[in-house]
Amino acid sequence: MKRLSFILMLVCAVSASASTLYVSKSTGKNKNDGSREAPLKNLQKAIDIAEPGTLILVAEGNYFGLHDCGTIKITKPVTIQGGYSSDFSERDVLKHLTLVQPSAESNGTTLSGTLGTMHIEIPQKSDTKMEIDGLIFDRGYTNAYNPKGEGKPEGVASPMMQELPSTGGIGGDDEFSMSEIHNNDYYTLYVKVACPLVIRNCAFLNSRTQAIMGPISEGAKVLITNNIIVNSRMSGVEIWGTSATQNAHVEFCYNTVLFAWTRTRTFEDMGYGFRYMNKIDVDLHHNIMGCCCYAALDRCRIDSPSDREKKKVTTAEHNRFFLNKQADLMIPGGGKFQRIWADEFEDVEQLAKEDDNVTLTDPKALGNAIDEAYLKGWINLSYGETSTFDGNSGANQFRSALGMPMQGTMNSKASMWANRYPWRKALDLFGAMQGYGAQKIER
C-alpha cells in the first residue's frame, strides 16, 4: 500500500510540475520523471500524466500505444512535437523520424471505444491548443493485401488492399504472412474536439480509410498545414461541425494529397482528397492535390436550412491539381454530380474565392518525388468485369422450378487498388514544389 501511494505521489508530482515532458524510445523509462535528463519511454505515458497545455517533445523511434497496443488516445489538449534526436540536442523531422507505425502484431489490440491509430477526443470547450507537429503516421504494415498477389503492377510494394473484414497478406517489405484483419481502428487520425486544433509537418500514409476524420464543436478552429497525405481509402480529410448555430472553421493549406482510392475495389464511389463537410467554413489554399479516383475536392454536402448554406464560406485558391481521374472538384447537379476542372472554378457559386487554381498536365510536375512504379501503375489503372449466366444449367432449372431466382457469376479485376505506398519515398514530397503543397520543414 505504501509503495502504491509513493507511485501515485510521484505521478501527481510529475503531472503538476512539468510544463515540458521528454519522450525517447531508445533512452527513456516510464518510471522516469519525464525531464530531458530522464525521459519517458512511451508517448502514451507522457500523454497520460501531462496537464493541459503541456509540451511533449518526442525523440526518434516508433510509438504506437502503451504495450504496443496499436492506439494512442488523447483526452486533453497538449502539444506533441516529434523529430528530435535521442538526446534532444537537435530537431529534424525528416532525419530523426518519429513514427506512429503499428506492426502487424498490433492488429486486434486497439483500445475499446477508439476509432483511430491516434484518437483525440476533447469534448470540453477550451482555449488551450491541441497540436501535433512532426509525426509520421503509416498504416502500411497493418493492412491486408490480396493473398493471391492480384492487382500488383511491376515494382509496386504490395498487391492491392483487401476490404475489411478480410484475410490477406501483411508483414514486412519482403514477406507477407496471412492474417485476419478486423480491428476497429478505421482512421489514421480521429479528432473530436472543442478546442483549437493544429496538425502540421506530419505524414499520413497508407490509411485503411480516411487519414483525418472527425467532428468539431461549435466555433472551433482547425489548422491543417504542411502535411503529406498519401494513399488513403475513401478520402484524405473529412471534418465536420456539430453546432446547430455556429460553423466551425478549417484552414487547409500547403498540404500534398495524393492517391485517394474508392470505397471498394469495384471503383463505385468515393475517392476524394478533401471534403467540404457540413457546418464548417473552409479556407483551402496552396495545396497539391492529385491522383484521386473521383476528385480532389468534394463540395456536394449542402447545409440546411437554406439560409445556413447561403452563409457558409468555402474557398479554393492557389492550388495545383494533378492527374485526378474524374475531376478536380465535384459539386451537386446534373442528377448526381457535376465534374469541374480547375479552369472552371470561377463559375462555381459554392466557392467564395477561387483564384489561381491550375490543373498540371506534366506527370513529372513533382520531379522524382513520387514513386515511379506507383505513379506508372496509377496512370495505367484499369478495371473490368466479366459475368456468366446459363439459364439452362441444371442448377438454374431446379431453382426456377422452385420459384427461386436464377443465378450467375460475376468476376471483377483491377490492375491496382490502395496498394501499399513506400513510406520512406513518400517523405520526398516535402518541398517537391516551391510554394505549393508541403514545403521543406524548418528545423
Output the DSSP codes for 376-415.
HHHHT--EEEEEEE-TTSHHHHHHHHTTPPP-EEEEEEES
The pLDDT, as a whole number, for residue 69 is 76
Are 279 and 241 contacting, i.e. CB atoms less than 8 angstroms apart? Answer: yes
Predicted confidence band of residue 109 (pLDDT cuts 50, 70, 90): low
The pLDDT, as a whole number, for residue 173 is 58
pLDDT above 60 for 282: yes
Positive/negative CA dihedral, 46, 51, 52, 54 = negative
> What counts of helices (H) and strands (E) characterise the chain?
6, 30
Long-range contacts of 429-433 (CB under 8 A, 24+ apart): 429/228, 429/230, 429/256, 429/258, 429/366, 429/369, 429/370, 430/94, 430/226, 430/228, 430/256, 432/256, 432/288, 432/366, 432/367, 432/369, 433/288, 433/320, 433/365, 433/366
Higher pLDDT, 298 or 3: 298
The pLDDT, as a whole number, for residue 143 is 85
Q: What is the pTM of this model?
A: 0.88
Distance CA 241, CA 356 (A): 28
Average the pLDDT over 164-190 and give the result: 60
Look over the chain and give the mean of its residue pLDDT values, rounded to a whole number.
Answer: 86
The pLDDT, as a whole number, for residue 49 is 96
Q: Which residues pair with 272 in a beta bridge?
A: 235, 295
The pLDDT, as a whole number, for residue 20 is 97
Distance CA 150, CA 187 (A): 25
Query: What is the pairing mode between strands 177-181 and 203-207?
Result: unpaired
Q: What would the pLDDT profile of 127-148 be if each residue is shown by its tens digit?
A: 999 999 999 999 988 888 888 8
Positive/negative CA dihedral, 184, 187, 188, 190 = negative
The pLDDT, as a whole number, for residue 105 is 72
pLDDT above 80 for 42: yes
Predicted confidence band of residue 338 (pLDDT cuts 50, 70, 90): very high
Q: What are 175's three cell numbers? A: 514477406
Q: Which amino acid, one-letter code, is at 422?
A: P
Q: Which residues pair with 190 in a beta bridge?
A: 119, 213
Predicted confidence band of residue 167 (pLDDT cuts 50, 70, 90): low
Q: DSSP per residue over 24-70, as a string?
A: -TTT--TTS--SSSS-BS-HHHHHHHPPTT-EEEEESEE--SGGG-S
Distance CA 261, CA 107 (A): 22
Are 256 and 228 contacting, i.e. CB atoms less than 8 angstroms apart? Answer: yes
**pLDDT above 90: percentage of residues in the chain:** 65
List, in order, residues 6 or more apart from 31 with CB less than 8 Å away. none
Positive/negative CA dihedral, 160, 166, 170, 175 = negative
Q: What are 135's three cell numbers? A: 509525426
Are 227 and 202 contacting, i.e. CB atoms less than 8 angstroms apart? Answer: yes
Average the pLDDT over 349-361 and give the result: 95
Predicted confidence band of residue 111 (pLDDT cuts 50, 70, 90): low
The pLDDT, as a whole number, for residue 337 is 85
Predicted confidence band of residue 5 (pLDDT cuts 50, 70, 90): very low
Q: Phi and psi for 311 in degrees, rounded to 5? A: -85, -10
Are 296 and 273 contacting, i.e. CB atoms less than 8 angstroms apart? Answer: yes
Q: What are 86's three cell numbers? A: 535521442
